[in-house]
Structure 1
Amino acid sequence: MTRLHPSSARPISVSLISLGLLASALPAAASDTVYGLWLTEEETATVRIADCGAGPMAGTPCGVVETADIPEGEPTTDVNNADPTLRDEPIIGLTMLDGFERDKDKWKKGRIYNPEDGKSYKSSIRLDKDDPDILKVKGCIAFLCQTQEWTRVD
């Protein structure tokens, strides 16, 4: 397997899926926020969640692929994207999570992009109530949902 790092990829400007986080006037402790670096449940990628930045999504979380284990010989670009013009974009730097709205202790009404099938799904994210180093990432098609647990990386 080849582990790709952000230094080997150019950033993409298209936001396919991002996570949103509400900015706080007071800085929160690292364990009290969805911001940070997260290892996916399959342990095949890390996703950096940070403020989406300026514009309409400012103050909300966006999740960008920071590293990915891609089997040797497999494409390192978004070949399954439904939009043919985006299929040459690298997986590293790909925005997976965005469009979230704050709702008490979770972020909802967001989107998650799955580069394995090139599709976007409705999503919500929240910290586990008992362990703030676990992020519950839910993706849904209509009323069918699946939740993954991502682990915070120090």
Structure 2
Amino acid sequence: MKLLVIAFALSAASAPAFASDSVHGLWLTEAGTGTVRVADCGDGTPCGIIETAEIPDGEPATDVNNADPAKRNEPIIGLTMLDGFEQSGDKWKKGRIYNPEDGKSYKSSIQLDDDPGVLKVKGCIAFLCQTQRWTRVEE
């Protein structure tokens, strides 16, 4: 597999430091196949942008499964996969998580685990939910 990595306009060196008790930061997905940077969307709510992803050789590095044909040529790296959250205590809920593997969006909530080095990311279809635990990447 080939690991694709992109340097955003704000590189890790110049990215703002966030408190360890914040959902903001760089997170390694539960499967260990990519990282997602969670930062402020510009309106005080968190957004998650895919920063790295393992793309198997020969597979497209674009959002080929997107339901919108106009978006199928957009790169996976840099894709917003978490957004639309509302804060409720120590939890962000009523957001959405986009899964580029199937091109679908799901209801989502995120919150820090008891261990602030772990982000609980929940995605739901109706009442069926799955929670992943993402690990904070020290920068």
Taking structure 2 as the reference length, the TM-score comes to 0.91
The alpha carbon displacement at 1:5 in A equals 1.4
Ranges of 4+ aligned residues in structure 1 off by more than 2 Å: none
- 2:108 alignment partner, SS class: strand
CA distance in 2, matches of 1:136, 1:112: 13
Number of equivalences: 131
Could you list the per-position Cα deviations for residues 111-131 of structure 1 after superposition, in whole angstroms to 9, with x for gaps in the alignment? 0000000000000000002x0
Identity rate, percent: 76
Choose from 71, 82, 88 the match for 2:56.
Answer: 71
Asked if the contact 2:18/2:24 (under 8 Å) is kept, the reply is: no
Of the three residues 31, 38, 55, the one matched with 2:27 is 38
1:95 equivalenced with 2:80 (yes/no): yes
TM-score, L = length of structure 1: 0.82
Deviations 1:48-95 (A, max 9, x none): 000001xxxx00000000000111111100000000000000000000
Q: In structure 2, what is the Cα distance between the partners aligned to 1:74 and 1:132? A: 35
123, 127, 136: which is aligned to 1:143? 127
Q: Which runs of 5+ in 1 are unaligned?
A: 11-27
Aligned-partner Cα distance in 2 for 1:91–1:105: 29
Computed over aligned residues only, the root mean square deviation of the Cα atoms, in angstroms, reads 1.6
Code of the aligned partner of 1:32 = D
Q: Which runs of 5+ in 2 are unaligned?
A: 10-16
Query: What is the CA–CA distance in structure 2 between the aligned matches of 1:109 and 1:44, rounded to whole Å?
Result: 26
